[in-house]
Amino acid sequence: MADAATLASAIRARAGDAPVRLGLILGSGLGHLAHAVDGVAIPYADLPGFPHVGVSGHNPNLHVGLLEGVRVAVFGAREHYYESGNPRAMLLPLQVLRELGAGELILTNAAGSMRPEVGPGEVMLLSDHINYSGLNPLIGEKTDARFVPMTDAHDPGLRAGLKAAAARQGLPLPEGVYCWYSGPSFETPAEIRMLKLLGGDAVGMSTVPEVILARFLGLKVAAISTITNMAAGMSDERISHEHTKAMAPLGAAKLERILREFLRSLRQGA
């Protein structure tokens, strides 16, 4: 397997040497935003050690270039824990992101809502998370760097910037606590009742391992969920992956407006 420095120089050879400012990982049904990047798209298959993403509705390319004038690296897809049982699958891609110069990472995902007033098509900024899976991508790390503090893991500065961007766009951006449930089966209604008692607002099958890995690597990180459904037992709709893919574009349009506005503010140094 290639190391991160080798992969980063291979990427620079195709995408140019200018440092990347920010990374973006796109969730289910959100992959199209990557095509707005003015730059190059490098298939994960060309990057040894990058995940073989096998989930439909994802775009397994790394797009490096300009979005709203900011140099970004957009991961069109992530590997989920449920694909191969590896919570560290995104470690190498995030090491590469850091090698490319990025200091900040924004994660997106599709999630179920446990808050009745935040329904399908809405977006939710993660204020914090509950790692309900019990898994940790840093298990096996050998140095004391593995003892990563997780207070303010969801970076207050990035969150303030995203909230301000949403407000300028006239879009509500409620904050909530995301629960990582391993998947790939969805939750039972009883599990959702439990997660609500524990303080959860949204539930999904991703994001938490990448938040932990990002903090381990010293990247500032924030995450936004697009709500595709009410969590199990909270409405009569049938929860399915097809439904997730069909509903993601509703929130994706709002998410794109918020992210573009946020990037414009970065470019202007706001």
Task: List residues near ligand HPA by CB under 6 A.
Answer: 110-112, 181, 186-187, 203-205, 228-229, 231, 239, 244
Name beta bridge partners: 38: 66
The one catalytic residue among 15, 166, 205, 222: 205
CA dist 231 to 176, 222, 226, Å?
14, 22, 13
The H or E element spanning position 247 is helix 241-267
CA distance 113 to 252: 15
Active site residue 113: no
In Å, how far from its chain's centre is CA 195? 21
| Closest alpha carbon to 201 in 121, 106, 267, 128 | 128
The one catalytic residue among 44, 58, 61, 261: 58
What is the rounded end-to-end Cα distance, in angstroms, of the chain? 40
The one catalytic residue among 59, 109, 206, 225: 206
Q: How far is the CB of 110 from ligand HPA (least distance, A)?
A: 4
The one catalytic residue among 34, 110, 124, 223: 110
Cβ pair 212, 189 in contact under 8 A: no
Active site residue 28: yes
Active site residue 241: yes
Q: How far is the CB of 21 from ligand HPA (least distance, A)?
A: 29
If the CB atoms of residues 71 and 80 are measured against ligand HPA, the closer one turns out to be: 80
Burial of 57 (0-12, 13-18, 19+ CB in 10 A): middle
Q: How far is the CB of 56 from ligand HPA (least distance, A)?
A: 14
If the CB atoms of residues 161 and 204 are measured against ligand HPA, the closer one turns out to be: 204
If the CB atoms of residues 132 and 262 are measured against ligand HPA, the closer one turns out to be: 132
If the CB atoms of residues 59 and 108 are measured against ligand HPA, the closer one turns out to be: 108
Residues acting as catalytic residues: 28, 58, 80, 82-83, 110, 205-206, 229, 241
